[in-house]
Amino acid sequence: MLESGYYNSKKTDDICEDVCGPASKAARLRCILKGFNLRALLALLIGVPLCIFGIYLHGQKITYFLRPLWESPPKPFNYIPHYYHENVSMENLCRLHGWGIRETPRRVFDAVLFNNELDILSIRWNELHPYVSEFILLESNSTFTGIVKPLFFAQHRDRFKFVESRLTYGTVGGRFVKGENPFVEESYQRVALDQLIRIAGISDDDLLIMSDTDEIPSGHTINLLRWCDEIPEKLHLQLRNYLYSFEFFLDDKSWRASVHRYRTGKTRYAHYRQSDELLADSGWHCSFCFRYIDEFIFKMRAYSHVDRVRFKYYLKRSRIQDVICQGADLFDMLPEEYTFKEIIGKMGPIPSSYSAVHLPGYLLQNVDKYKYLLPGNCMRESG
């Protein structure tokens, strides 16, 4: 029994000859069909559950991959070429952009909704410090997803003494509504930030920077915009996208940061597209650039897209460390692009970059303190 079973399974290709023996052509055909049905049935029995399991595991990936079919790309921006060299006079720089120069620079207000990015905040404020009149920071005891969080800035305020005389700080209590779309809490906090900006004393034609903490405009960009006349009323900034550190350069498609000539009663703090104008190469967007693994876990849970943490093991510390060193995706997602060519081109981990040229100055002046943000230092401290 055992032997013949073994024999049969080994020579499955000949199943018809073995089982049916040599017979007429018609009988053989019927036999082959029967064998085919058996195989089809087996395939169905194994294949369908596998397929369902596969969709369960990778459903989000499949919809992302098919994105070019169900979503067309947004309207392209009007790119404004950006000229800069430290040795070119401001008058000439303004002229290169088709703008005139002002007698005095505009006042600049930099407003952020703070979550927990303390190191990135240091780098941001040091970068912008020479050009900003007033720093505005709002933090809440609720994440966008309604999780209670400490007031991280309040706890570490002494690290930021260098802006204290120019800081308008505010807090807003979370609403903690269960099961609500995180974007509702987010827009509630942005409205509170609008009030704080008015309290800070902004007036017409002052510049207002609207960006997340980790979207850092370069200092020379803000200096240009405060000195030149006739700049657009609303201008988005094209930033270089980095992930985990300045080792993993993803692309230069970050555009959400914007600079506004403030108009009382009209200007609203927002993080979506507000104009078609995009100034090229204006700074850095460093996502998930954290020192500690715990901060990654916190941010993954506090993220607006909570649905992305589909499996508990995504939050495992050893996995997160591996993902960081590989330049892979924390949520195991596909690239968010609008053409198959771009999706496929960007699949897989981000290759390492070895360039630390044209990075925020404060970072390079404090390499020992912020080593983990530089190429070749992907290991994170625990705690």
Ligand X SMILES: *[C@@H]1O[C@H](CO)[C@@H](O)[C@H](O)[C@H]1NC(C)=O
Q: Provide the binding-site residues for ligand X, judged by CB under 6 A.
A: 87, 141, 148, 173-174
Query: Which CB atom, from 22 or from 173, has the smaller least distance to ligand X?
Result: 173
How buried is 119 (Cβ within 10 angstroms: 0-12 exposed, 13-18 middle, 19+ buried)?
buried
SS (H, E, C) 139-184: EECECCCCCECCCHHHHCHHHHHHHHHHEEEEEECCCCCCCCCHHH
Coil, helix or strand at residue 192: helix
CB 125 → ligand X: shortest distance, Å?
Answer: 24
Q: Which is nearer to ligand X, 35 or 174 (CB)?
A: 174
Cα 107 to Cα 60, 132, 267: the distances in Å are 45, 7, 16
Residue 15 or 147: the one with the smaller Cβ distance to ligand X is 147
To the nearest whole angstrom, how small is the minimum distance from the Cβ of residue 241 to ligand X?
29
* Dihedral angle, C-alpha 328, 330, 332, 338, nearest 10 °: -80
Q: Which of 318, 319, 317, 323 is nearest to 294 (CA)?
A: 317
CB-CB contact of 294 with 149 (8 Å): no
Nearest distance, CB of residue 172 and ligand X, angstroms: 7
How many residues are given for the chain? 383
**Residue closer to ligand X (CB basis): 140 or 287:** 140
User: At 52, which amino acid appears?
Assistant: I
Q: 3-class DSSP state for residue 99?
A: coil
Least Cβ distance, residue 127 to ligand X (angstroms): 21
Is the CB of 115 or the CB of 245 nearer to ligand X? 115
| Strand, helix or coil for residue 195 | helix
* Cβ-based nearer residue to ligand X, 86 or 158: 86
Which residue's C-beta sits nearest to ligand X? Answer: 173
Tell whether the torsion through CA atoms of 286, 287, 292 and 298 is positive or negative: positive
Least CB distance from residue 176 to ligand X, whole Å?
A: 7
Query: From the CB of 138, what's the least distance to ligand X, in Å?
Result: 12
The least CB distance from residue 301 to ligand X, in Å, is: 16
Amino acid, res. 227: W
CA distance 72 to 88: 41
Residue whose CB is less far from ligand X, 45 or 148: 148
Q: How far is the CB of 179 from ligand X (least distance, A)?
A: 17
Do 103 and 78 meet the contact criterion of CB atoms below 8 Å apart?
A: no
Q: For residues 4 and 89, which CB has a smaller minimum distance to ligand X in the complex?
A: 89
